[in-house]
């Protein structure tokens, strides 16, 4: 959705009114219907512009403005209203580290002024509590004499919705506190949907939709993100549905308290709540200065995706409650706290078209052509849609407004359409029956999710296969890029990957842009590629289902290209890490006469066909998977993985039931630790890792440890 409306310079009052109307509409969509029609980053832009205009034109400020009254939605008529005894306020935002630093300096000045006005000995040292900002739904849970009696959403901050029955079914919310609980205790926190629960819900809805579609019935919307899915799960009319969704809860604030003395600091209050069995996020940290605050925020900008739940920022609070009271609050937010927002990773944009690309193995992949939008640190104009089934499940159509998600360097993903903004009568997109490059029929084999162009003469397929062969993960031919390959194909200088090694200097020197030095550099790079490892060659041959690691595995297991070509499906399947699908694909590839002729031409050109020398080290980790997370003093990440592989093991990037052990270095990934704990997989320090490499045995303290974080 683009930000339009009246011009702010020509008509500031009209612009302010338009912004307030937009924000009100989006508040209703987000807080009341759990169906936002713009991403958080775009909403923040609207709020920031409104604040800017009100600062420039104070006469336009009204008490009803969302900058003064706070954000939130009116309670739904589906649930009874609940009056909060203490207002549940929203927080001001810092969009980057500079704004966070400005808040810290502003707060320090206010405290200096307060201290200067008091007795001479009142100067105070300020400590900060840093908490993860969970992307969920804020609730207040009230206990009386230790028993849960009421739960309410935040609503507009003053009045929320009574969701007691639904919250009572969430396993993470205790129904009864211990005997030390006071007469009244209100715990405020965030109900959220863990990522595992979100993915399970998506898969369940997709499966149900397939059954509905088969019967010709209307399908349900597929959940697009954990926040909306979690909020919708909490607001179910049937509490048993809420209980089945796997919701969880983190408490972040003490509300009303009767019958007990309030702890002097926020961190002490959280510890007190945790001691009574109320879940408090373990990543919460108390720091002594703003530099440590910035370090904490910067850490989670980088490591946010290692968590088993989604966060959209970090909340920073002054720890001392007396200092909080001295600073006070504005009409909508406390001055003693701020939310540092992580860089935006979801935006809305227009899906202009869906096209299909043909890859190196003939795989036909649909992709989205988008109105360019800045998200996750870069401008995105295209995104893969994977296959026909994914397009159908997401039900995205050219002309839709769609939600685009991008996390750092991760490939951008079209999450789904904003159905409220879909133009009436927009037709469903259909997967083409013919290849867009060669016009031959596309084939989808039974049990496969992908369509294939099986025409060996397909121009796009041929180009993509040669590009892959020359790429860094395969033969790594520097200077032979996509444009050069397209030119060579057009000029009939090459027709397949073996022709690369037949390129001649005298032909190249006659081409535009090629001089003596550039030709020599290219031919030198081609010559150097002949010595690449056998695993690289296997990967470069574009064998369906065979990836880079599979190529290395086969090269190490058989020792030569000749032995691999002579192997049966059973021989190939017997190699650890090579399943029946890959084995069948490799066997079929080398059974084709045309492929064997191609390989012979490569052999004649002098490419390396011999695998790596077998390791002389004792195979202490044969068949075992060892995951390394965090930084080790004596190993780089690659060196640790090599040490494992040289001893017959594997070094996967994630923890699973098959993982033998997890090696923990400095600043390990939180999600890997959590998964290892859940599966009770032994955790090793670096010294124990060295012992494992040498003996293949787990230290006694790790083999029978009670693993905990």
Does residue 119 have a pLDDT over 70? no
Query: What would the 3-class secondary structure string for 154-221 be?
Result: CCCCCEEEECHHHHCCCCCCCCECCCCCCCEEEEEEEEECCHHHHHHHHHHHHHHHHHHHHCCCCCCC
What is the b/e burial string over 626-665, where b = at least 16 CB atoms within 10 angstroms of the residue's CB? bbbbbebeebeeeebbebbbbbbbbbbeebeeebbbbbbb
Query: Which region among 131-145, 245-259, 379-393 has the lowest average model confidence (pLDDT)?
Result: 379-393
Residue 597: in which H helix or E strand, if any? Answer: helix 593-605
Does residue 402 have a pLDDT over 90? yes
In three-state secondary structure terms, 3 is coil
* Mean pLDDT on 345-356: 91
Does residue 709 have a pLDDT over 50? no
Question: Could you give the CA distance from residue 308 to residue 678 in angstroms, rounded to a whole number?
Answer: 12
Residue 343's pLDDT is 75
Question: Could you give the CA distance from residue 331 to residue 340 in angstroms, rounded to a whole number?
Answer: 20
Do 112 and 204 belong to one domain? yes
Residue 69's pLDDT is 58
In three-state secondary structure terms, 354 is strand
Judge whether 5 lies within some domain: no
DSSP for 508-572, please give it.
Answer: HTTSTT--HHHHHHHHHHHHHHTTS-HHHHHHHTT-TT--HHHHHHHHHHHSBHHHHHH--HHHH
* Mean pLDDT on 632-643: 85
92 vs 601, higher pLDDT: 601
Judge whether 438 lies within some domain: no
- Token pair in block for residue 83: 């009056």
Count of beta carbons in the 10 Å neighbourhood of residue 182: 17
Do 288 and 379 belong to one domain? no
CATH code assigned at 178: 3.30.470.30
pLDDT in tens, 205-214: 888 888 887 7
Question: Could you give the CA distance from residue 419 to residue 396 in angstroms, rounded to a whole number?
Answer: 9
* Mean pLDDT on 638-657: 84
**pLDDT band at 612, cuts 50/70/90?**
confident
Query: Which region among 160-169, 173-182, 369-378, 548-557 has the lowest average model confidence (pLDDT)?
Result: 369-378
Residue 70's pLDDT is 52
**pLDDT band at 706, cuts 50/70/90?**
very low
Does residue 1 have a pLDDT over 70? no
Residues carrying an active site annotation: 133
* Mean pLDDT on 564-569: 95
* Mean pLDDT on 541-561: 90
Give percent above pLDDT 70 in the chain: 92
CB 258 within 8 A of CB 182: yes
HSE-CB of 352 using CA atoms within 13 angstroms: 9
4 vs 443, higher pLDDT: 443
CATH code assigned at 387: 2.40.50.140
124 vs 357, higher pLDDT: 357
Backbone φ and ψ of 227, nearest 5°: -65, -55
pLDDT in tens, 261-305: 999 999 999 999 999 999 999 999 999 998 999 999 989 988 888
List 451's β-bridge partners, or say none. Answer: 364
**Residues 20, 26, 27, 32: what is their CA dihedral angle, to the nearest 10 degrees?**
150
Does residue 3 have a pLDDT over 50? no
Tokens 């397929």 found at = 461
List 133's β-bridge partners, or say none. Answer: 313
CA–centroid distance for 497 within its chain: 36
Judge whether 431 lies within some domain: no
CA–centroid distance for 28 within its chain: 27
Backbone φ and ψ of 535, nearest 5°: -60, -35
Do 356 and 469 belong to one domain? no
Sign of the torsion angle spanned by Cα atoms 671, 672, 673, 678: positive
- Order across the sheet with 659-664: list the strands: 625-629, 659-664, 683-684
Domain final position from 508, 529, 550: 529
CATH code assigned at 639: 3.40.50.10190
DSSP for 115-143, please give it.
Answer: HHHS-TT------EEEEEEESSEEEEEEE
Which of the residue ranges 75-89, 272-286, 654-668 has the most confident prediction, judged by mean pLDDT?
A: 272-286
Judge whether 84 lies within some domain: no
Cα-based distances in Å from 607 to 299, 415, 491, 534, 665: 45, 44, 25, 9, 40
Mean pLDDT of the chain: 87
Domain extent for 292: 93-341
Return left, alpha or beta for 246; rule: phi > 0 is left, psi -120 to 50 is alpha, else beta: left
Angle CA(554)–CA(560)–CA(563) in degrees, nearest 5?
A: 85
**Residue 673: burial class (beta carbons within 10 Å; 0-12, 13-18, 19+):** buried
List 125's β-bridge partners, or say none. Answer: none
In three-state secondary structure terms, 638 is helix
Does residue 425 have a pLDDT over 90? yes
Q: Where are the alpha helices (DSSP H) in 430-515?
A: 459-470, 482-490, 505-508
Do 336 and 361 belong to one domain? no
Do 195 and 328 belong to one domain? yes
**Residue 592: burial class (beta carbons within 10 Å; 0-12, 13-18, 19+):** exposed
Cα-based distances in Å from 339 to 47, 216, 657: 14, 47, 37
Does residue 618 have a pLDDT over 90? no
Domain final position from 291, 309, 341: 341
Does residue 708 have a pLDDT over 50? no
Do 149 and 123 belong to one domain? yes
Judge whether 442 lies within some domain: no
Angle CA(647)–CA(648)–CA(654) in degrees, nearest 5?
A: 105
- Token pair in block for residue 78: 């589906």
Judge whether 3 lies within some domain: no
HSE-CB of 418 using CA atoms within 13 angstroms: 24
CB 74 within 8 A of CB 32: yes
Judge whether 708 lies within some domain: no
List 258's β-bridge partners, or say none. Answer: 184
Backbone φ and ψ of 353, nearest 5°: -165, 160
pLDDT in tens, 518-546: 999 999 999 999 999 999 999 999 998 89
Using alpha carbons, select from 390, 462, 388 the residue that is nearest to residue 432: 388
CATH code assigned at 488: 1.10.150.20
Using alpha carbons, select from 298, 334, 302 the residue that is nearest to residue 103: 334
Do 299 and 223 belong to one domain? yes
pLDDT in tens, 180-201: 899 999 999 999 999 999 999 9
Query: How many domains is the chain built from?
Result: 6
Q: Which residues contact 578 (CB under 8 A, 6 or more apart)?
A: 550, 553, 554, 557, 572, 586
Do 272 and 161 belong to one domain? yes
**pLDDT band at 216, cuts 50/70/90?**
confident
Give percent above pLDDT 90 in the chain: 52
Does residue 132 have a pLDDT over 70? yes
Do 177 and 278 belong to one domain? yes
Do 119 and 157 belong to one domain? yes
Question: Could you give the CA distance from residue 672 to residue 628 in angstroms, rounded to a whole number?
Answer: 9
Question: Could you give the CA distance from residue 91 to residue 100 in angstroms, rounded to a whole number?
Answer: 13
CB 654 within 8 A of CB 662: no
Does residue 600 have a pLDDT over 70? yes
Judge whether 213 lies within some domain: yes
* Mean pLDDT on 357-383: 88
Does residue 496 have a pLDDT over 90? yes
Sign of the torsion angle spanned by Cα atoms 533, 534, 537, 538: negative
Question: Could you give the CA distance from residue 141 to residue 298 in angstroms, rounded to a whole number?
Answer: 32
Question: Could you give the CA distance from residue 131 to residue 313 in angstroms, rounded to a whole number?
Answer: 9
CB 386 within 8 A of CB 366: yes
Do 630 and 597 belong to one domain? no
* Mean pLDDT on 100-123: 81
Residue 59's pLDDT is 75
Sign of the torsion angle spanned by Cα atoms 648, 654, 660, 666: positive
Do 411 and 298 belong to one domain? no
């Amino acid at each position: 959705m683009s930000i339009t409306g009246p011009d702010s310079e020509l008509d500031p009052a009209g612009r302010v009114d338009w912004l307030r109307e937009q924000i009100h509409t989006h508040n209703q969509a987000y807080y009341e219907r759990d169906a936002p029609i713009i991403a958080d980053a775009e909403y923040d832009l609207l709020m920031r512009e409104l604040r800017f205009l009100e600062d420039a034109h104070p006469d336009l400020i009204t008490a009803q403005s969302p900058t003064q009254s706070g954000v939130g939605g009116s309670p739904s008529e589906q649930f009874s209203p609940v009056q909060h005894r203490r207002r549940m306020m929203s927080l001001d935002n810092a969009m980057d580290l500079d704004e966070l630093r400005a808040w810290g300096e502003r707060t320090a000045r206010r405290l200096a002024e307060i201290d200067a006005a008091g007795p001479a000995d009142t100067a105070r040292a300020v400590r900060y509590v840093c908490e993860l900002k969970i992307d969920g739904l804020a609730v207040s849970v009230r206990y009386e004499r230790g028993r849960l009696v009421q739960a309410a959403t935040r609503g507009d901050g003053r009045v929320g919705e009574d969701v007691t029955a639904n919250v009572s079914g969430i396993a993470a919310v205790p129904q009864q506190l211990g005997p030390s609980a006071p007469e009244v205790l209100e715990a405020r926190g965030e109900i959220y949907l863990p990522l595992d629960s979100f993915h399970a819900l998506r898969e369940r809805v997709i499966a149900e939709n397939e059954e509905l579609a088969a019967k010709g019935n209307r399908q349900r919307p597929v959940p697009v993100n954990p926040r909306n899915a979690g909020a919708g799960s909490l607001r179910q009319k049937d509490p048993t549905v809420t209980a089945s969704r796997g919701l969880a809860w983190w408490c972040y604030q003490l509300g009303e308290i009767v019958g007990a003395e309030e702890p002097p600091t926020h961190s002490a209050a959280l510890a007190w709540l945790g001691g009574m069995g109320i879940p408090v996020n373990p990543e919460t940290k108390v720091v002594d200065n703003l530099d440590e605050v910035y370090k904490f925020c910067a850490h989670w900008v980088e490591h946010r995706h290692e968590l088993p739940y989604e966060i959209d920022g970090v909340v920073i609070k002054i720890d001392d409650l007396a200092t909080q009271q001295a600073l006070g609050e504005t009409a909508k937010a406390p001055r003693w706290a701020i939310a540092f927002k992580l860089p935006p990773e979801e935006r809305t944009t227009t899906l202009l078209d869906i096209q299909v690309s043909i890859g190196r193995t003939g795989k036909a992949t649909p992709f989205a052509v988008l109105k360019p939008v800045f998200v996750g640190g870069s401008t995105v104009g295209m995104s893969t849609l994977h296959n026909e089934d994914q397009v159908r499940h997401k039900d995205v159509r050219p002309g839709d407004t769609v939600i685009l998600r991008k996390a750092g360097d991760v490939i951008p993903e079209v999450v789904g359409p904003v159905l409220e903004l879909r133009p009436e009568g927009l037709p469903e997109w259909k997967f083409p029956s013919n290849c867009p490059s060669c016009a031959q029929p596309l084939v989808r084999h039974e049990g496969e999710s992908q369509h294939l162009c099986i025409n060996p003469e397909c121009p796009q397929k041929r180009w993509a296969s040669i590009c892959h062969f020359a790429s860094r993960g395969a033969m790594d031919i520097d200077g032979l890029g996509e444009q050069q390959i397209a030119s060579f194909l057009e000029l009939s200088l090459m027709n397949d990957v073996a022709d690369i090694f037949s390129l001649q200097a005298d032909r190249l020197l006659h081409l535009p842009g090629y001089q003596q030095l550039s030709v020599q550099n290219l031919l030198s790079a081609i010559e150097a590629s002949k010595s690449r490892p056998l695993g690289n060659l296997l990967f470069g041959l574009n064998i369906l289902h065979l990836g880079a690691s599979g190529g290395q595995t086969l090269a190490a297991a058989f020792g030569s290209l000749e032995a691999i070509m002579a192997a049966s499906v059973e021989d190939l399947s017997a190699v650890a890490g090579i399943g029946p699908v890959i084995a069948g694909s490799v066997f079929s590839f080398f059974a084709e006469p045309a492929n064997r002729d191609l390989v012979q031409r490569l052999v004649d050109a002098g490419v390396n066909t011999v695998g790596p020398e077998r390791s002389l080290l004792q195979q202490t980790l044969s068949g075992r998977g060892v995951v390394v997370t965090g930084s080790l003093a004596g190993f780089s990440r690659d060196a640790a993985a090599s040490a494992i592989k040289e001893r017959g093991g594997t070094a996967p990037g994630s923890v699973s039931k098959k993982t033998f052990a997890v090696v923990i270095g400095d600043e390990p990934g939180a999600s890997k630790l959590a998964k290892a704990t859940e599966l009770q997989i032994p955790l090793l320090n670096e010294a124990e890792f060295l012992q494992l490499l040498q003996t293949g045995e787990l230290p006694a303290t790790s083999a029978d440890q009670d693993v905990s974080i």
